Amino acid sequence: MKPTHSILVLLLLATYVPALYARPAPTQPAPVRHEDAPTAPVISDDAGWTSGVLIGVATLFAAALLIGPVYRLSLPGELPVIHAHDEPPGASHHHGPTGTVEKQ
């Protein structure tokens, strides 16, 4: 252990150990009160947060109404022909029966 670490440990022990012995021991445990549980869930009377949540949800729907058509207009009319490279040789029929370009 480095000297600075041992000094820190000694300082912590010097402040912690006397505090352990200085506390008075509790004479009796604190009494525990058990209240009867309500028969139904208790609903909070504070409903101030609902307006903020509803405004947020309405904002998201309004944004979706604006962004959706703009996104659909940016899509191409038809998807381009896809040339997959994971086809077995000769399955695409683009490059001949061997799957490779045949030079003539």
Place of tokens 């022909």: 81
pLDDT of residue 58: 97
pLDDT of residue 57: 97
CA dist., res. 41 & res. 6, Å (int): 55
pLDDT of residue 8: 74
Residue 96 burial (CB count, 10 A): 13
Is pTM beyond 0.75 here? no
Place of tokens 């009867």: 36
Per-residue pLDDT of the chain (104 residues; tens, 9 = 90+): 566 677 777 776 777 666 666 666 667 777 777 777 778 888 888 888 899 999 999 999 999 999 999 999 988 888 767 666 665 665 555 555 555 555 55
The separation between CA 77 and the C-alpha centre of its own chain, rounded to angstroms, equals: 36
